[in-house]
Amino acid sequence: MILHSSRACAENAARPRLVERRLARFAPRVQGAVRALAERHPRLADLAVSFPALLFALAVPRRGIDAARLCARVIAGDPLAELAAAADVPLWLRRLPPESFVRPIVTLPDGDRFRRLIANHLPRSPKLAAVWLQAVCAAAHWGHERLAVWIARELVREAKRVKLERLRLISLLAWFSMRPGTIGHGLIDHIWRSDMSFATAQTAADAWRMTLALQLNLGSEPIADMWAQPGSIAGYEFRPLRSIGDIREEARAMRNCLCTYGYNLAHNRSRLWSVRKDGERVATLKIARTSYDPLPVIRELEAAGNTDAPPQVWLAAREWLHRHDLLRMETNGRAWGSVPLDRAAWMSLWRPYWLAKRRIPGWLPLAPSRAALEAL
């Protein structure tokens, strides 16, 4: 009886020290609010040990949370599970250290399956915890639950290789990857998958953004003025690449970067053509003006994979181009940045995302924005 009493006294004496150590681990920016709440009652202070996320959520509540009422319930001794549900704090956050919490906790996924999956990727380092939680919140908010688990895994696996400034674009890619029938999905060459590494997902997202830029620069209508006319020379056929579909098909078949030319084409700086023989693609042709020549010339002529086109293709291309009245071609380029993105294309592209998320985020505004597109 005496031994049991001594152990209980020792535990009671040690508890305040443990609580203090836990409180000291909260970020300096929230330390004052957390301590002020903990000082109101021992049961509130004890949350620093048993459920740091709940203590933080009560000390730094987000809009709509009745912190005063919940604090009263903590003091009354209500079960933690019920308190967490009332505060909209997922129980899986209970395993995160105090260092994790620097911003009000937003609504997060909390289904049984998500809890099982996220439990495998909790941060082991307190130094990583805050970045990890914010990334999981962002991925769940901008993307979906699968993406939240994925970014949690990637950060725990190799945090130094994860560039979180790219997470918005990857979130959009992941969201549209699961929305067949949308314009955004139709422009994806490599669908996001949860088994991708971060580097692979980033590469897929960058390629998708290039195609988005092509779509948004050119719109849904084909290019009206291709400067030149289709024709055949020495068995080589010259076909215009007028539409986004034409350009994407050529880029895939010829393994080149034509999808990056949207900005250039929109400002009337060049035109793209496919060179074929016996129906097979043999080269991709770009005609444009140079800074020192008022007449259009062949600026690029390359075979598949950006390899050199044969001399006979060059000869045929020159003959084809010079059969035109070069002086009559409307090749005057527009000032860079003077041509806005296509508004109808912008609205059609992002509308499903805005509606599903029930908001128009500042980083993806209603009005077409080159700056917003480039910042993704």
Q: Does the pLDDT value for residue 181 go beyond 90? A: yes
- How many percent of the chain have pLDDT more than 70? 97
**pLDDT at position 12:** 59
**pLDDT at position 13:** 56
Residue-number span of the structural domain to which 276 is assigned? 231-328
Q: Does the pLDDT value for residue 77 go beyond 70? A: yes
Is residue 235 domain-shared with residue 158, that is, in the same domain?
A: no
- Last residue within a domain, chosen from 138, 162, 186: 162
Q: Does the pLDDT value for residue 10 go beyond 50? A: no
Number of domains in the chain: 2
Asked whether residue 126 is domain-assigned, the answer is yes
Is residue 135 domain-shared with residue 25, that is, in the same domain?
A: yes
**pLDDT at position 14:** 73
**pLDDT at position 11:** 52
Between 4 and 268, the more confident residue is 268
Q: Does the pLDDT value for residue 55 go beyond 60? A: yes
Taking the C-alpha atoms of residue 130 and residue 150, their distance in angstroms, rounded to an integer, is: 17
Q: Does the pLDDT value for residue 15 go beyond 90? A: no
The whole-model pTM stands at 0.90
- Last residue within a domain, chosen from 328, 344, 370: 328
Is residue 31 domain-shared with residue 156, that is, in the same domain?
A: yes
Is residue 24 domain-shared with residue 158, that is, in the same domain?
A: yes
Please write the tens of the pLDDT for every residue from 256-293: 999 999 999 999 999 999 999 999 999 999 999 988 88
Pair 191, 280: CB distance under 8 Å: no
Please write the tens of the pLDDT for every residue from 291-331: 888 999 999 999 999 999 999 999 999 999 999 999 999 99
- Last residue within a domain, chosen from 139, 162, 185: 162
Mean pLDDT, all residues of the chain: 94
CA 360 to centroid of chain Cα atoms: 15
Q: Does the pLDDT value for residue 7 go beyond 70? A: no
